[in-house]
Structure 1
Amino acid sequence: MSRFLQLHLLTFFPPANMNRDDTGRPKTAIVGGAPRLRLSSQALKRAWRTSPIFATALAGHMGQRTQRMGEVVRDHLLAGGMVAEAAIAAARDIAGVFGKIKDAKDKEPTRIEQLAFIAPEERTAALALADRLLAGEKLDAKAAGLLRTADTAADIALFGRMLAADPDYNREAAAQVAHAITTHRVTVEDDYYTAVDDLKTSAEDAGAGFLGEAAFGSGVFYLYLCVDRALLLKNLGGDAALAATAVGALVEAAATAAPRGKQNSFAAHGRAEYLLAERGDQQPRTLAGAFARPVTGEDLMAQSITALTKFRCALKDAYGPGSDDDRIMHVGAKGSLADVIAFCRD
């Protein structure tokens, strides 16, 4: 099995604001001295992980990122007949395994301070420990072995986790995801819009009931991600079939799912027009350098594909092949997403 799987995608998105900064404007970056639109890796991974693609393909093999595991345990104990005060104390003890517990006087005393990524096996183990407490056993949650170093949570295996309370159970992400950037210069524009009061009569003033502004931008985005398939397999405890399913779901989601910001206003549901998948043991490398100089012209997608192909060939000439094998999907020209997914799963 080749260790690394690298994906390079070019996707056009029409006017949109899928990933906003602290002022509500589309995220940007200066690359090669030119302003570009940007989709953060965090936003992309969140979109993929919560997509119907992941939910369907990886049902039963998804973790939960939450502060509220203690509430789940508390409610389980209460349903089992434990008195409220004891249930809260026990839930705090169990939840404390996953992170620093909030103060007992807090309005939510069973929550932890941080979001913790919890695998299905860990949730099951926590509830099983609660059942033992209901049966009258005296247990120490810290010594109960709730945490796992490998499990069947495919999203944790792909994207990793950090447990500040117990770093020994941190999980190194098998997938590295870059911020997506436009291949060309982009100017963020502003939409001035109004809303009219439906019950306003013609006898009243003709003014709008609401005025607002919304920023947006459009362009061809380059996205790069790399999967360490050996690490993915290790994170999943050696389950090769699940690892293949996780890779297939990741490829499909990367090509078809986008961040959901302002989608009701823009419906910017893009699909990758060009997708290059590479397998090999060679040191991974991004092809973002193809766009250090922003592409120009009337057909930005075609120019982007040309620049990507040219830069890849230049790297091959200088450093040798960047992979052992590859597959390409180019909408209207060659290949299909199904072909690429099958190649990546193999």
Structure 2
Amino acid sequence: MTDFIQLHVLTSYPPSNLNRDDLGRPKTAVMGGTQRLRISSQSLKRAWRASDLFKEALSGHVGIRTKEMGNFVYKALTTGVKLTDILEGKPEFSTTYPKMEEKKAGEISKQIASVFGKLKKEGFEIEQLAHFSPEEIGTIEKLIIDLAQSGRELTEENKNILRKNNTAVDIAMFGRMLAANTQYNVEAAVQVSHAITVHKVAVEDDFFTAVDDLNNGEEDMGSGHLGETEFAAGLFYIYICINRDLLKENLGEDGELTKKALQAFTESALTVSPTGKQNSFASRAYASYVLAEKGKQQPRSLSVAFLKALEEKDLLASAIKELNSTHEKIESVYGKCCENKIEMNAYTGEGSLQEVLKFVAE
């Protein structure tokens, strides 16, 4: 049977606009008949996988998601600069192989890009985002060097760039969908809920002005800019479910890399905030509480604990109490829902991040 790891997280954010809708307002949702603040799972996952913490802990095992690989390949072929240097945005480039004539480079770039998706009408971009593993980028790099040095044509065999099994942790966790080559799709091993506040919220308006530093007030006494932004604050419940067996399978049965991935992801989820409007609000926060579970039982969220919006003044203590009470009641009805569990409670100073990281990795 499948091994699951479940994380139930409570994180409080002060006034913020971490995740905006199409009108620039904080995202919301109606739950239990009341409006709640919401952070989409896409926003959370993006913040975690793009964080320095995640990248440094898993150096060499993080992929790149882009539509523009064809453009990067074309630039490498026509300049003689290594593809990896271009992708990393290094300020100083060094030519490492012969430059290719532009027409031929264009044809090759289109052929390579088409492996990952349907090309746009103009240029070398593909129509959808594609996630490239380090192994696939390495294969493209070697192919570019070979073609540039030998001057030969690209063969059909050279188009075997895609890999079903690779060591890109972000692909293994969050999956990959390639419409052009569905056999190389990867099923996500990690599921993340939309973060939702445990209490009702009202989105507020912030009217602000900016002053022209060189305005001496002789002609214009007004401000140089008038603006308005919207914000809200809240205590969020986040639910995460990790299929450990699938994660290990996606990583080519590499047990040690699976452990590193679990620890890096968990630490990111507990300490990294979405980046929206951070310069305006500095709304960075660590998780105040986490309940981590392991077992082969069918996973379940504990969001029902907050179906009725909490109204107590001491929201964090009340939310922790409701979460644990709901956990106990579900187990009394359905039986044991996990084999092992551990808590970290920053409100009471109990448990530690290191204990949680050790727990998820074991």
TM, length-normalised to structure 1: 0.96
The question of 1:162 aligning with 2:177 is answered yes
Q: Distance in 2 between matches of 1:26 and 1:142?
A: 49
Structure 1 distance, partners of 2:163, 2:284, is 37
1:91 match: 109
Unaligned runs of 5+ in 1: none
Aligned positions of 1:52-63 closer than 5 A = 52-63=52-63
Please give the secondary structure, in 2, of the residue aligned with 1:37: strand
Q: What amino acid sits opposite 1:15 in the alignment?
A: P
Query: CA separation of 1:311/1:282 partners in 2, compared to 1, >3 Å: closer, same or farther?
Result: same
- Per the TM alignment, residue 239 of structure 1 is displaced from its structure 2 partner at its CA by 0.8
Moved more, 273-282 or 69-78: 69-78
Q: 2:100 aligns with which of 78, 82, 103?
A: 82
Is the aligned partner of 1:198 residue 2:213? yes
In structure 2, do the counterparts of structure 1 residues 157 and 186 end up closer, same or farther at CA, with 3 Å as the change threshold? same
| Equivalences for residues 35-184 of structure 1 within 5 A | 35-78=35-78, 79=80, 80-103=98-121, 106=122, 109-134=123-148, 135-141=150-156, 144-184=159-199
- State the Cα deviation string for residues 103-133 of structure 1 (Å, max 9, x = none): 2xx2xx1211111000011111122222332
CA contact (8 A) 2:108 2:154 kept: no
1:186 aligns with 2:198: no
Aligned partner of 2:264: which letter?
A: A
RMSD over aligned CA atoms reads: 1.4
Aligned counterparts of 1:40 and 1:233: Cα–Cα separation in 2: 26
Q: 8 Å contact 2:176–2:185 — kept in the other structure?
A: yes
Partner of 1:335, secondary structure, is: coil
Aligned to 2:233: 218
Flag the 1:141–1:295 CA change in 2: closer, same or farther, 3 A.
Answer: farther
State the Cα distance separating 1:141 from its structure 2 match: 4.5
Opposite residue 336 of structure 1, the aligned amino acid is S
> Structure 1's 326 and 179: CA in aligned 2 closer, same or farther, altered over 3 A?
same
Q: Does 1:290 align with 2:308?
A: no
SS of residue paired to 1:246: helix
- 1:205 offset after TM fit, Å? 4.0
* Bigger Cα displacement from structure 2, 295-304 vs 201-210: 201-210
- Judge which range, 325-334 or 56-65, deviates more: 325-334
Paired residue type of 1:42: Q
> Does the CA-based 8 Å contact 1:94-1:141 persist in structure 2?
no
Q: Structure 2 vs 1, CA of residues 143 and 203 (structure 1 numbering), >3 Å: closer, same or farther? A: closer
The match for 2:266 is 251
Give me the whole-angstrom Cα distance separating, in 2, the residues matched to 1:73 and 1:22.
34
2:42 is aligned with what amino acid? Q
Given residue 272 of structure 1, which amino acid in structure 2 is its aligned partner?
A
- Which range is displaced more, 30-39 or 142-151? 142-151
In structure 2, distance between residues paired with 1:181 and 1:262? 18
Amino acid at match of 1:101: L
Please report how far the alpha carbon of residue 71 of structure 1 lies from its aligned counterpart in structure 2 after TM superposition: 2.0
Residue aligned with 2:316, SS: helix
Give the structure 2 partner of residue 20 of structure 1. 20
Letter in 2 for 1:39: I
- Count the aligned residue pairs: 342
In 1, distance between residues paired with 2:16 and 2:2? 37
After superposition, residues 238-277 of structure 1 pair within 5 angstroms as: 238-277=253-292
Three-state SS of the structure 1 residue aligned to 2:288 is strand
- Aligned residue in 2 for 1:209: 224
Deviation at 1:143, TM superposition (A): 6.0
Q: Which amino acid aligns with 2:99?
A: G
Distance 1:180 1:25 in 2: 16
Q: CA deviation at 1:343?
A: 0.6
Structure 2: distance between partners of 1:140 and 1:295 = 63
Q: Sort the Cα spacing of 1:328 and 1:2 in 2 relative to 1 into closer, same or farther, 3 A.
A: farther
Q: Percent of pairs identical after alignment?
A: 48
